[in-house]
Structures are given as C-alpha cells and as structure tokens.
Amino acid sequence: MQAVVKTHRGPGGEVRTVPDPTPAEDEVLVRVRASSICGTDVHIWKWNEWAQERVRTVPMIFGHEVSGEVVRVGARVRSLTVGDHVSAETHIVDGTCYQCRTGKMHICANVQVLGVDRDGVFAEFAVLPELNAWKNDPSLDPAIASVQEPLGNAVHSLLPEDNIEDLAGKSVLIAGAGPIGLLAIAVARTLGAETVVATEVNRVRADLARKMGADRVFNPVEEGDRLVPAIREMTYGRGVDVACEMSGHPSGFQLVFDALTPGGRVSLLGLLDRPTTLDVDASLIFKAARVHGIFGRRMFATWYQVKGLLALPAFREKVGQIITHRVPIPELARAMDLIDSTQAAKVSLEARW
C-alpha cells in the first residue's frame, strides 16, 4: 500500500510503498477514507524538540485522525464486522492498570499512541485494536468523522467528568481558537451556555469563531489590559464560570485565571512547552478555582457525547465549517504549508493516492 512515512529522524516525510498491514486477533484492518492533521502531526513533520524526544522508532507511518471502513477483522473481534464505518480513538491502552480499571483509560499508565508509538493512518490502510475502532453512522461525511477525536478533546475540555457542572446558562471563555478551540465554541453553544467569549489573534480563525457562535472574539494583543474588564462586563461583572485554555500561550494561561469567577473552573488543554509562572495565591487559592488538566478524551463517554451531538444537523454543519481545506493525503507537504500560512483552521486529508 501507499503511506506517508517518517523515514529518518529529521523533518518531513515521504510517500512510500509499504507492505499491507495485517490485523492481529483482536484488531481490525481499516481502509482509510479520510484523515486530518493534528498539532502532533505537525510536530512530527517538523521534527521539533518534542518529536525528537518522543518518537522512538522510525521508519513509521504517522497520522492518527482517521475515518474509514473495516475490511478485515481479527478472529476474536466481536463488536465489529466488515463494512462497518469507524473512526480511531488514538490511545491504545492496557486495560488492566489502575487508571484503566478506575474509569480513566485515557490516561492509561502504559498508553501507546497511534501514529506516535506505532504505525498510524496517513496510509491506504490502517490497523486498529477492536476497542479503538469507534463505529460511526455510515451516512456521516468521512471528513467530519475523521475530526471526532479533536471534537472529543473539545467536549472533554468543557465536560471533563461525568459529574461536573453543566453549561446551562453559564458563561464560557475559550482562550485560543485553533481547531479544538473552534470546536469548543460550537460545543458550548450547543450545550446551552448563555455567553461564549473567545480570544484569537489570527483573523481567519477569529472569523470562524464568530461562525461557531462566539458572542465576541477578542484579539488579546490588541485588547491588552482592557480584555479582562471587557469579559467581566459581558458576565454581569462576575467573570466566566468555565474557562478553557486552548492557545498554548502563557498569556492565555494567565487569562483563564484572571477572567474566572470565584469558584469557577478551568480546563487546560494547550501545551505550554515550558515551565510557566503563576500567582497561585490570587489565581487559585483565593478564588477557590478548580483546574482540570485535559489529555485525550474519556474512553468512551466522550465519544458517545460526540456521536450524539453530531446527530444534530445544526451542530454537524458547524463542525464541517472548520474544515477549511481538503488535500489528498500524498500531498501532506502542501497541507503542512497551509497550516503554516495562518489561512487554515482544520485541514482534512482525502484518501486519493
């Protein structure tokens, strides 16, 4: 088959012909119908510091956001059959560690990540463990089906636990309107938030943020010191109930605490890449703030939420809008350029070889 392979420990990747993969007894073989690019893929493509340290084996096929059709099932697979449409949950877990056995599979002590620790999905075919192959409604657009994983990140950021305050009539801040931030805006709107405010410097993304339903989108650089007062003014002077850090920028990290109402909650998704300073007393203690570190999404409570939301036509249509570009998988280099251009939100990859 054809696949995009990281052939050596350095930038880029190559389209190569490699042997077709074979599913093990508890795995399925999937013909890729669509894929999409995550920040992780960009890191691996550029071979930045994180990738150099994190990726252990090359050559490796990378990519992990995917939807496709099951074309073969291992002997022990029970819940899937040939012809099923599926997407991938990227976290491959051991099922027996403390985290897995207590409802926290997504932070399995021995997690392996698709397209990072083993061959991924920028290919004609991909192998998935049965548990990781999430069955889709066959009528779902493959490009949308492929972005369910970042959509899951967005939902998980807003609802990090089963038992967590709902968003009904609440105010929500999304700091950073990259693809996951954009999805989070759409989700918050769909879950009954009264006020959704976002920050974003990139104009293309700021426009999309408004389309996703943000009441206001601030450019944090332009607003400067007026930003927090402006957010308070939109929230009866109280500050927001829920704040999601999705920019990966220290200013966003500071903002989610400054804009929070006492007793509110913060979800941290954007990686900051380096140690960051915080006035813990003022930001966390006196505010009685709660903070959730967000990694992956719950397996599979979040996936059911995502599936249910995508069944709503208005929401599904919004999700479609964040896919600003569609590029064939073999043209991954061009897709990477698009992401660098600041003109793109989500870049979908089509299975045209």
Residues belonging to the active site:
40, 43
Q: Which tokens sit at 161?
A: 């636990």
Q: Which tokens sit at 321?
A: 């809008």
CB nearer a copy of itself, residue 1 or residue 284: 284
Residue 323's region, left for phi above 0, alpha for psi from -120 to 50, else beta, is beta
Question: Minimum Å distance from CB 86 to a copy of itself?
Answer: 13
Strands 125-129 and 112-113: unpaired
φ, ψ dihedrals at 4, nearest 5°: -90, 120
Question: Minimum Å distance from CB 64 to a copy of itself?
Answer: 17
Sign for the CA dihedral angle at 183, 142, 339, 6 comes to positive
Give CA–CA dist 271/262, Å, rounded. 24
* 185 and 196 Cβ atoms separated by less than 8 Å: yes
CB nearer a copy of itself, residue 103 or residue 224: 103
CB nearer a copy of itself, residue 165 or residue 337: 165
Strands 125-129 and 133-135: unpaired
Residues in the chain: 353
φ, ψ dihedrals at 350, nearest 5°: -95, 145
Exposure letters 266-287 (e unless 16+ CB within 10 A, then b): bbbbbeeeeeeeeeeeebbeeb
Q: Which tokens sit at 186?
A: 């759409």
Amino acid letter, 164? I
* 212 and 195 Cβ atoms separated by less than 8 Å: no
Question: Minimum Å distance from CB 258 to a copy of itself?
Answer: 13
CB nearer a copy of itself, residue 13 or residue 150: 150
CB nearer a copy of itself, residue 19 or residue 288: 288
Strands 60-61 and 2-6: antiparallel
CB nearer a copy of itself, residue 184 or residue 332: 184
Exposure letters 134-154 (e unless 16+ CB within 10 A, then b): bebeeebbbbbbbbbbbbbbb
